Structure 1
Amino acid sequence: MAPQSPTIAIWELGLRLRERRYLLGLTATEAGRLARCTQAHVSEIERGRTRATKDKLTRLIKSYEFDSDESAELWNLHDHGAQRGWWNRYTGIFSNELLRFFGYEYGAESVRTYSGGLIPGLVQTEDYIRAVIRGAAPNLRLSEEELRVTARKTRQRRLVEDDPLHLTAVISEATLRQCVGGVAVLRGQLEHLARLVAEQPENLTVRVIPFSAGGFDALDGSSFHLVGFTSPRLPTLAWQETITSTSLIDHTMTVREYTLAYHQAEERALDREESLRLIRDTAKELS
């Protein structure tokens, strides 16, 4: 089972409150009156963007007529949501939206990634991480660079834990040849990637879309991730990264569009073994 994440606990609590409100036929404005807060605050709680205070949760549980078992589950989620995740120590350098993504990723069962430009962060070497950071922010202070490197390496631990994250990455052949950090850094990255894929067949798959594949929907788009969870109560989330912004996406139809784009990219990709062979061959070309 994936580790418990305070971010996911707060999110699940909000989802369950929203489901109950819908079942009772209440508007968010009416719920706000019951909780003695604004409609906007109720929406923030339901979306998992803020943790309900004890008094507001007490009023909602009573007003929504949850039974004792359900109430206990909600309070357990509330209490777990008060804990601090490893990502909380990085509030000074990352946006709240990115920190929330770290929290979702930490407690996820699976991540499906599409990348047309960079090797995905969860399988990057330290040298490659530094090259990516310096390319994006060349004037970054060394102390902040170190924090960013440490944060990414901390995220990577989920791939090697007792119940590891399942990562499937679909990447373009261009990603294997983009000389991030120079030839030596790229060669080390590809050798590292090939080694991980060979050593972790049960939870790590990397599939490469060759230049010969032709066009597909995600080709001119940005990198994105589809984050899945063990609990059937929790829907898949999408995370998108662009030059100017990053965003968590929970709208069902939008997530569906990303899922369709991912599947189309996957259909264009080589299989696992062919992809591994291409990664190794490309690394050898750099020797």
Structure 2
Amino acid sequence: MPPSPTVASWALGRRLRERRRERGLTGPAAARLTGVTAAYLSDVETGKKRISEQRLETLLEHYGFGDTELPELRELRLEASSRGWWADYSTVFDDDLLKFFGYEHGATSVWAYDGGVVNSLLQTEDYARAVLGAADATRREPELDRRVRCRMRRQHRLTDDVPLRLRVVMSEAAVRQCVGGHEVLAGQLRHLLDVTHRHADTLDVRIVPFDVPGHPAMGGATFHLMRFGSQRLPTLLWHESVTASQLISDPEKVREHARAHEAATAAALSREESFHLVRRHYDRL
């Protein structure tokens, strides 16, 4: 997977917090030992702040990390100090959304559910513009352009040297709703057919047909479950609604959404059947 300073900051902070607790140190006590404030140490442990080389070395010494762990921790600090592409959009999106981009970029796999529109990682530029434009009709054209460019940039993970493994479950409504008009929808469905064919090894798109009586995710908001290469890192949940979006790490909520995604997958058509359903709707346009 490509480097992500967001994931590296998070991973380093978790390692430092775990080690501090193993040593029986409270946050304030560890902060006094290392000459920083408790608030600063807390922000480092939660990935909110980046730590300098000197301060990290002080923590490593006081926490007694083994020699085999030191190179990895120092490498995480270096990666955390780099700049992700999403930083270019800091004037357009809030911090939570920027963090989501960073986590998504550094994830090895994503399970997504979308009830009403095609998943954002699979959208064409015209379709994305129509979706984003409809979400806020007062948005000025330059800002809309930047939001669309950011969405297209996120999609690079699908074609990286080590591509993101993506499983998307969508309602049939997502491929029937005439977003942007017939021409835009036709282009979107053509693109969906193309990417699912070209990336069959890493992309799994399932459609829940209209004749399915129900499943746990039905009527719910869009969500993404992000998994990472390190076994030390838990699955993260990104949850979107019309008025709010948030990153969730609570294990129970993550499990609930994972179960809902599995149930939606079971209710959906197979990959091949989903492909042919999209093809039928495309041919009708």
TM-score of the superposed pair, with normalisation by structure 1:
0.94
Q: In the TM superposition, what is the alpha-carbon distance from 1:31 to its structure 2 partner?
A: 2.6
Q: Which residue identity lines up with residue 175 of structure 2 in the other structure?
A: L
Q: Which residue identity lines up with residue 219 of structure 1 in the other structure?
A: M
Matched with 1:29 is 28
Residue 64 of structure 1 pairs with residue 63 of structure 2: yes
Matched with 1:186 is 185
Distance 2:77 2:71 in 1: 10
SS at match of 2:168: strand
Matched with 2:241 is 242
Q: How many residues align?
A: 285
- 1:184-206: per-residue Cα shift (whole Å, max 9, x none)? 11121111101111221101110
SS at match of 2:169: strand
SS at match of 1:232: coil
Q: In the TM superposition, what is the alpha-carbon distance from 1:36 to its structure 2 partner?
A: 3.5
Matched with 1:219 is 218
Distance 2:262 2:136 in 1: 32
Matched with 2:135 is 136
Q: In the TM superposition, what is the alpha-carbon distance from 1:242 to its structure 2 partner?
A: 1.2
Distance 1:57 1:8 in 2: 17
Distance 2:76 2:108 in 1: 18
Q: Do the aligned partners of 1:109 and 1:228 also contact (CA within 8 Å) in 2?
A: yes
Q: In the TM superposition, what is the alpha-carbon distance from 1:172 to its structure 2 partner?
A: 0.4
**Where in structure 2 are the equivalents of 1:116-265 lying within 5 Å?**
116-265=115-264
Matched with 2:79 is 80
Change (3 A) 1:66 1:253: same
Matched with 2:113 is 114
Q: In the TM superposition, what is the alpha-carbon distance from 1:58 to its structure 2 partner?
A: 3.1
Q: Do the aligned partners of 1:124 and 1:189 also contact (CA within 8 Å) in 2?
A: yes
Distance 1:209 1:195 in 2: 20
Q: Which residue identity lines up with residue 177 of structure 1 in the other structure?
A: R
Q: Do the aligned partners of 1:35 and 1:57 also contact (CA within 8 Å) in 2?
A: no
Q: In the TM superposition, what is the alpha-carbon distance from 1:55 to its structure 2 partner?
A: 4.4
Q: Which moved more, 1:235-244 or 1:67-76?
A: 67-76
SS at match of 1:62: helix
Gaps of 5+ in 2: none
Aligned CA-pair RMSD: 1.5
- 1:237-279: per-residue Cα shift (whole Å, max 9, x none)? 1111112221111122221111111111111111100000111
SS at match of 1:212: coil
Matched with 1:271 is 270
Q: Which moved more, 1:136-145 or 1:62-71?
A: 62-71
- 1:14-54: per-residue Cα shift (whole Å, max 9, x none)? 11111112222223333333334444433322221221234
Identity %: 46
Distance 2:155 2:35 in 1: 42
**Where in structure 2 are the equivalents of 1:94-105 lying within 5 Å?**
94-105=93-104
- 1:158-180: per-residue Cα shift (whole Å, max 9, x none)? 11122211111000011111111
Q: In the TM superposition, what is the alpha-carbon distance from 1:220 to its structure 2 partner?
A: 1.9
Distance 2:39 2:217 in 1: 34
